[in-house]
Amino acid sequence: MTTLFLSDLHLDESRPDALRAFEALMAGEARAAEAVYLLGDLFEAYLGDDDDAELPARVASATAAVRAAGVPVFFQRGNRDFLVGPDFAARAGWTLLPDPAVVLLGGEPTLLLHGDLLCLEDSAYQALRRQLRDPAWQAGFLAQPLPARRAFAARARAASAAAQAGRDESIGDASPAEVRRLMDLYGVRRMIHGHTHRPALHRVPLARGMGLRVVLGDWYEQASVLRVDGDGLRLEHAA
């Protein structure tokens, strides 16, 4: 059986085709999988478990049906959906994973993470990440009414787009030294992550030999899916 890994779908009302493609994958191949792993940034913006918009409800319905078919669905928070809480996870049929997390995949310990923790060259983002992950900040944000949260998210997306314009792309990539450090720290020879939108398979020299880093692609144009089974790893397009 095949285990599916997805990341960086950035689902949003403005991209209905991506949402339909995700629903089709969940209604088809995912229901016959060994497991499904969603490694963050499933949403373009996530405003809290009390969000009554159609999009999160459709996502929850799609993955809950996978779980009802007997397939476990695991979710790791990303930098766009770090506010996903236990209430939504229960509705969606998800098991929440810490970031990073080690899982056994075909008998091989594998380190899973969204990937933003690897981007140490982006010091401005790392400072922002620390602020947004602070429980006091999150409590204050979630206490605001939904219209205020939606307005904040729109401003944040605009600011992020402006910051990306003309920026050296290497700043947002994974630090090779941090990749090696974490893989050695957790004693693994395989890592899977997203976030950078640079799908590839990388050989990693480690203290215990050569390792493998798998980078998932995004769903803006690629509809990237990693399939893992007894025949190995295949980083492919969903359609």
- Give the whole-angstrom CA distance, residue 142 versus residue 126: 22
Domain limits for position 18: 3-237
DSSP 116-185: GGG-TT-HHHHHHHHHHT-HHHHHHHHTS-HHHHHHHHHHHHHHHHHHHTT--GGGGSPPHHHHHHHHHH
For a pLDDT cut of 90, what percent of the chain falls above it? Answer: 84
Q: Is 12 exposed, middle or buried (0-12, 13-18, 19+ CB in 10 A)?
A: middle
**Widest distance between CA atoms in the chain:** 52
pLDDT score of 160: 74
Residue 33: pLDDT band with limits 50, 70, 90? very high
**Residue of 63, 43, 40 whose CA lies nearest to 51:** 43
- What does pTM read for this prediction? 0.94
**Number of separate domains in the chain:** 1
pLDDT score of 130: 94
- Give the whole-angstrom CA distance, residue 162 versus residue 142: 25
pLDDT in tens, 128-145: 999 999 999 999 999 999
pLDDT in tens, 164-216: 665 556 667 899 999 999 999 999 999 999 999 999 999 999 988 999 999 99
Return all residues near 239 (Cβ < 8 A) that are at least 6 apart.
21, 24, 223
Answer whether residue 4 shows pLDDT above 70. Answer: yes
Average pLDDT, whole number, for the chain? Answer: 93
**Residue of 110, 49, 36, 108 whose CA lies nearest to 75:** 36
pLDDT in tens, 104-115: 998 999 999 999
How is residue 57 written in tokens? 């409800």
pLDDT score of 158: 81
Rg of the chain, C-alpha, whole Å: 17
Answer whether residue 73 shows pLDDT above 60. Answer: yes
How is residue 84 written in tokens? 């996903």
Give me the CATH number covering residue 161. 3.60.21.10
CB atoms within 10 A of CB 134: 11
